[in-house]
Amino acid sequence: MTRCLLVDDDAALRTELSEYLQGFGFEVTAVASGVAMRQCLAAQPFAVVLLDVMLPGEDGVSLLRGLRQTSSTPVIMLTARGDTSSRVLGLELGADDYVAKPFEPRELVARIQAVLRRGSGGQDPGRRYVAFATWRFDRVARQLISADDVVLPLSSAEFRLLEAFVSKAGQVLSRDRLLELTRAPGVEVNERSIDLAVSRLRTKLGDASREPGLIRTIRGEGYLFDTEVA
């Protein structure tokens, strides 16, 4: 079963949602506070965290900020409908998706499944570092680290694109497939956005003039991340 940590101070919602998610193969641990959340995360790994923004004491945005310093576990924020500022801040801090209350439980299940598909890519979703060519990719800090320890921060678009490439290394990815893999909630993207992100990522990798390069353009098909990932 897929382990899911639900953090919400609404006792009725915790009970109802836990029972519903269990019907879809999730093993749910439900807690009411940030303190309990940290205790659970220290005790065992979870595939996904469902985190309410409006919590007593330390709020969900602050908890997300702390979590992202040590973990890349997928997080879906539960926000009040119309709470745009918390939603945007949460996405900037590394939330993988958001669901506005009140929501249909089936929609939440679909979003969890989408986040898990997008985030794992066949790799361990909790692994912080991956390595390729002369680079290390820090998936928590969202940075590239060169062989001589020069650190290059990645924008959100560059981070999502590199996540897609390292998870699908050796596969030709069409622009449509890259759009699917890198789409973030609340962000409009198109094929031109993909091309621009590829160009910027190539520049950071020092790949712009290299032939054939790490990111190869396959004419009429898309892009290929042509290196081994460890």
| 33 Cα distance to chain centroid | 23
- Which candidate, 44, 58, 45, 43, places its Cα nearest to that of 7? 58
Task: Looking at the structure, tell me whether residues 219 and 134 fall in a common domain.
Answer: yes
Task: Looking at the structure, tell me whether residues 112 and 143 fall in a common domain.
Answer: no
Long-range contacts of 101-106, Cβ-Cβ distance < 8 Å, separation of 24 or more? 103/78, 105/16, 105/17, 105/20, 105/21
- Which candidate, 184, 176, 72, 68, places its Cα nearest to that of 123? 72
Task: Looking at the structure, tell me whether residues 60 and 159 fall in a common domain.
Answer: no
Task: Looking at the structure, tell me whether residues 157 and 95 fall in a common domain.
Answer: no
Task: Looking at the structure, tell me whether residues 153 and 99 fall in a common domain.
Answer: no
Question: Which residues on adjacent β-strands are paired with residue 129?
Answer: 138
Task: Looking at the structure, tell me whether residues 105 and 191 fall in a common domain.
Answer: no
Given a contact cutoff of 8 angstroms between Cβ atoms, the answer to whether 99 and 81 are in contact is no
- Which candidate, 164, 149, 162, 167, places its Cα nearest to that of 202? 162
Task: Looking at the structure, tell me whether residues 135 and 107 fall in a common domain.
Answer: no
pLDDT tens-place string over residues 129-138:
889 988 999 8
Domain boundary residue, one of 120, 152, 173: 120
Task: Looking at the structure, tell me whether residues 64 and 170 fall in a common domain.
Answer: no
pLDDT recorded at residue 115: 82
Q: Where are the alpha helices (DSSP H) in the chain?
A: 11-22, 34-43, 60-67, 84-93, 105-120, 156-167, 175-182, 191-205
Amino acid at 206: G
Q: What six digits make up the tokens of 224?
A: 């290929």
pLDDT tens-place string over residues 161-171:
898 898 888 88
pTM above 0.85, yes or no: no
> Residue 208: inside a domain, yes or no?
yes
Q: Is the pLDDT confidence value at 24 over 90?
A: no
| 162 Cα distance to chain centroid | 12
Task: Looking at the structure, tell me whether residues 112 and 180 fall in a common domain.
Answer: no
Can you tell me the mean pLDDT for 152-156?
81
pLDDT tens-place string over residues 41-90:
999 889 899 999 989 889 998 999 888 887 778 899 998 766 667 667 77
If one compares 212 and 55, the residue with the highest pLDDT of the two is 55
Task: Looking at the structure, tell me whether residues 160 and 87 fall in a common domain.
Answer: no
If one compares 45 and 190, the residue with the highest pLDDT of the two is 45
CATH number of the domain residue 25 falls in = 3.40.50.2300
Task: Looking at the structure, tell me whether residues 114 and 159 fall in a common domain.
Answer: no
Domain boundary residue, one of 94, 120, 146: 120
pLDDT category of residue 127 using cuts at 50, 70 and 90? low
If one compares 187 and 79, the residue with the highest pLDDT of the two is 79
Task: Looking at the structure, tell me whether residues 6 and 115 fall in a common domain.
Answer: yes
pLDDT recorded at residue 89: 73
Q: Is the pLDDT confidence value at 14 over 90?
A: yes
> Residue 230: inside a domain, yes or no?
no
Q: What six digits make up the tokens of 12?
A: 């009725």
Q: Is the pLDDT confidence value at 125 over 60?
A: no
- Which candidate, 101, 57, 98, places its Cα nearest to that of 75? 98
CA atoms within 13 A on the CB side of 101: 15
CA atoms within 13 A on the CB side of 192: 1
Domain count, the chain: 2
Q: What does the buried/exposed string (b/e) look like for 148-168 if buried means 16 or more CB atoms within 10 Å of the residue's CB? A: eeeeeebeebbbbbbbbbbbb
pLDDT recorded at residue 123: 45
Residues spanned by the domain of 217: 129-225
Question: Which residues on adjacent β-strands are paired with residue 143?
Answer: 138, 153
CATH number of the domain residue 159 falls in = 1.10.10.10
Domain boundary residue, one of 73, 101, 120: 120
DSSP 229: B
